[in-house]
Amino acid sequence: MIKKTYLTLLLILVQFSTFAGINIIPEPVKVEEGTGIFTLTQATPIFAADDAKEIGLYLSAELQDATGFRLNPTTSKSTATGITLEILATPNSEIGDQGYLLESTTTKIVIQANTKHGLFNGVQTLLQLLPPEIEASTQVKADWIVPAVKISDYPRFEWRGLMLDVSRHFFTVEDVKNYIDEMARYKFNRFHWHLTDDQGWRIEIKGLPKLTEIGAWRVPRQGDWWSFDPPQKGEAATYGGFYTQEEVKEIVKYAQDRFITILPEVDIPGHAMAMLAAYPELACFKKDFKVNPGSKFFCKIQNTLCAGNPKTFEYLNIVFSEIADLFPSEYIHIGGDEVCRKWWFFCTKCQSVRRKNKLKNTEEIQSYFITEVEKMLNAKGKSIIGWDEILDGGLAPNATVMSWRGTAGGIKAASMGHKVIMSPMPYYYLDLYQGDPLFEPVTYAMARLTDTYNFEPVPAEVDEKYVMGIQGCLWTESVSEYRHAQYMTWPRAFAIAESSWTPTANKDWTKFIAKTEHHFKRFDQRKIRYARSMYDPIVSVIKEDGKLKIKMETEFEGLTIHYTFQGAEPDFSYPVYDKPVTIPRNPKLLRVVTYKEGKQVGNSMVLPIDQLKARAGF
């Protein structure tokens, strides 16, 4: 009995030591650590006046999910004990609309803000100060403690976003809600919902029912994207789905309750094959269009709306009228990227528009198209955001540019006095490799965690006042399940969250890694999938002293790399890498694994030496 009690106490101490410290993502502006702890119990009161009541209910629900404690908020005010959520009577000019003040002592926790949004952000910090839930299998619950601390915090950028592409693969209402929940915990406030593309139209438009009757469905395919066969004669389109307007309203409200604004995107005038499948009369040259299943087609099959057909703008007006009514966002994203303009060159209707409006070329036809859509949306009280190609041929007067082809588009738009959102590929593209391609899901480029974290989103030549913020983008051509979407998003979205919120001077890569490892434990408890690629070594072949050698690096310090050219899988007993290793004459494989503090943390990697040589050009 004594031995069992000792082991239980030891387990609790191990849990405490594992979760100790301040591990907040994104890093706050100012943190002052105090002495002692606040202990949350079933008797802890939550005080929230009427203007903070909904935040109190949210906190109560989150705490109940984690702890099992049912803490009902009360509007009675106390300064002696408990948790107090308070809207400041006299606004604090430093923290703004989304910042907060948090102070915890041994007897109380007080969160203050100028707005409900600020309080909500403070609550996210409080939840991160608590330890993760302890696994039920241990049959041990650690005390729910919060370290004594004083925090003053507010965001660097107004716009802190993530994009989820639901066109290439459809994600359920529950998936989308879960994604929003995960975003909210890290103080993201914009959810960019990529709703339409060549591979599917995902939102009900009652005035144009064929958009979902036909455009939401395609023939099923599995394997590597862009390698798929096109639709075959007589093949049924059974893969897809769409959101009804009632479901959209439900998701919009769900996001609003978490202080996240949804930015809907209807991608036009290119990326419109799903729309053309439903309404082929909107193409420059009418044919039997099919929703694309992931086969190559660009500039071989039309996917561009006709700029000279009045029906194009009539139908778009129907689409945007309904979308404007569904989404309270000030902005609607109209795409504008990757437009194959050759159809306009050969189209008599488009060329008639070119001559009538004295346009020089197809680039200016695109500018004309985007400007007409902007007028349409401005009349509905909305402003447009487009990918940086909307700069081609001249930027629409009031447009905001989302810069994805590096930062050049953002630099150009800012120089013209337009607002920009930085989403540059590869740094903020979440669909890319984050570790060695031999051990990652197939994709097309690389952005490791360190690349994302260390990237500075505001170029030196840009006045930061024009940068609304930053955004990570998860394109889902190769992401067909929600668990895979989680894997691609985290932990790189931690880095984006910190870059969008935290002052540059407060960012610290070594500290960030420690925090990320802590949040992995939280994700384990919530059964959220994430990539552990940051633990895997970066392996390359170099030529040194006339010999080909293996070079290995790690993304952060504290890892040891063990390797062998023999057949057995290495462990901690194998040689430790400390400098480039000459490639022996005969072996075909390199086997590598990483350890941290005596525990294996990385993949057990088997790397063909010929492939490593080929990567390096040898």
pLDDT tens string 73-97: 998 766 678 999 999 999 999 999 9
Q: Is residue 473 part of a domain?
A: yes
Instruction: Please check whether residue 186 lies inside any domain of the structure.
Output: yes
Q: How many residues does the chain have?
A: 618
Nearest Cα to Cα of residue 292 among 315, 306, 272, 316: 272
Identify the pLDDT of residue 78.
61
Q: Are strands 217-218 and 239-240 parallel, antiparallel or unpaired?
A: antiparallel
What is the domain range of residue 85? 2-153
Same domain for 451 and 355: yes
> Could you tell me which of 117, 109, 113, 285 has the C-alpha nearest to residue 189?
117
pLDDT higher for 133 or 29? Answer: 29
Residues 415, 430 within the same domain: yes
- Among residues 137, 153, 169, the one where a domain terminates is 153
Three state DSSP letters for 204-246: CCCCCCHHHHCCCEECCCCCCCEECCCCCCCCCCCEECCECHH
332 vs 2: CA distance, rounded Å: 65
Q: What angle do CA 378, 203, 58 make, to 5 degrees?
A: 90
pLDDT computed for residue 17 by the predictor: 39
Q: Quick one: pLDDT at residue 143?
A: 81
Name the pLDDT band for 2 (thresholds 50, 70, 90).
very low
Whether residue 497 contacts residue 187, with contact meaning beta carbons closer than 8 Å, is answered with yes
Last residue within a domain, chosen from 131, 153, 175: 153
322 and 229, same structural domain? Answer: yes
DSSP state string for 457-481: SS-TTS-GGGEEEEEEEE--TT--S
Q: Sign of the CA dihedral 306, 296, 483, 603?
A: negative
- Residues 493-503 have pLDDT tens digits of 999 999 999 99
The answer to whether residues 114 and 91 touch, using CB atoms and an 8 Å cutoff, is yes
Instruction: Give the active site residue among 197, 265, 436, 555.
Output: 197
The reply to whether 145 and 222 lie within a common domain is no
Residues 88, 41, single domain; the answer is yes
Lookup: tokens for 492: 């790189």
| 470: pLDDT strictly greater than 90 | yes
Amino acid at 562: H
Domain assignment of residue 568, yes or no: yes
Query: Does 338 qualify as catalytic in the annotation?
Result: yes
Structure tokens at 300: 């071989």
Q: Which of 31-45, 127-141, 236-250, 469-483 has the lowest mean pLDDT?
A: 127-141
Q: Which residues does 222 contact at the CB level (< 8 Å), separation at least 6?
A: none
CATH number reported for the structural domain that contains residue 607 in this entry: 2.60.40
Which residue in 117, 194, 271, 519 is the catalytic one? 271
pLDDT for the residue numbered 3? 41
Nearest to 241 by CA among 172, 147, 138: 172
Q: Over pLDDT 90: what percentage of the chain?
A: 90
Q: How many domains does the chain have?
A: 3
Displacement of CA 46 from its chain's centroid (Å): 32
User: In whole angstroms, how far apart are CA 617 and each of 422, 442, 538, 591, 608?
Assistant: 33, 21, 17, 21, 15
The answer to whether residues 544 and 482 belong to one domain is no
Please provide residue 369's backbone torsions phi and psi, each rounded to the nearest 5 degrees: -60, -50
Return the CA Rg of the chain: 27
Asked if 493 contacts 430 with a C-beta cutoff of 8 angstroms, the reply is yes
Same domain membership, residue 130 and residue 180? no
Q: State the greatest distance between any 2 C-alpha atoms of the chain, in Å, as a whole number.
A: 92
Q: What is the CATH number for 179? A: 3.20.20.80
pLDDT band at 138 (very low <50, low <70, confident <90, very high): very low
Provide the pLDDT for residue 237: 97
Beta bridge partners of 103: 110, 150
Q: Among 526, 561, 595, where does a domain finish? A: 526
Cβ contact 84:47 at 8 Å:
yes
Mean pLDDT estimate for the chain: 94
3-state secondary structure string across 333-368: EEECCCCCCHHHHHCHHHHHHHHHCCCCCHHHHHHH
Q: What angle do CA 591, 441, 512 make, to 5 degrees?
A: 80
One domain for residues 214 and 193: yes
Q: What is the pLDDT of residue 72?
A: 87
Which pLDDT belongs to residue 81? Answer: 86
Taking alpha carbons only, the member of 306, 301, 281, 305 closest to residue 291 is 301
309 and 439 fall within a common domain: yes
Establish if 206 belongs to a structural domain: yes
Q: Tell me what the mean pLDDT of segment 182-205 comes to.
A: 98
Burial class of residue 454, CB neighbours in 10 A (0-12, 13-18, 19+): middle
53 located within any domain: yes
In a domain, 414, yes or no: yes
b/e burial code for range 395-433 (CB count within 10 A of at least 16 → b): bbeebbbbbbeebebbbbbbeeebbbbbbbbbbbbbbbb
- Identify whether 491 is preceded by a cis peptide bond (ω within 30 of 0): yes
Q: Is residue 536 among the annotated active site residues?
A: no
Is residue 531 situated within a structural domain?
no
List Cβ neighbours of 101 (8 Å cut-off, separation of 6 or more): 92, 95, 110, 111, 112, 113, 122, 151, 152, 153
Q: Is position 310 within any domain?
A: yes
Q: Are residues 546 and 493 part of one domain? A: no
Gap between the Cα atoms of 433 and 450, Å rounded: 13
Q: What is the mean pLDDT of residues 160-164?
A: 98
pLDDT at 20: 55
- C-beta of residue 199 within 8 angstroms of C-beta of residue 168: yes
Q: Residue 94 sits in a domain of what CATH number? A: 3.30.379.10
Question: Could you tell me the pTM of the whole model?
Answer: 0.95
- pLDDT given for residue 134 in this prediction: 53
Of 338, 363, 364, 569, the catalytic one is 338
Same domain, residue pair 542 and 513: no
Q: Is residue 348 located within the same domain as residue 426? A: yes
d(CA 321, CA 315): 10
267-270-274-275 Cα dihedral, nearest 10 degrees: 80
> Which amino acid type is present at position 432?
L
User: How far is 151 from 158, CA to CA, in rounded Å?
Assistant: 20
Average pLDDT over residues 174-196: 98
Rama region for 478: left / alpha / beta (φ>0; ψ in -120 to 50; rest): alpha
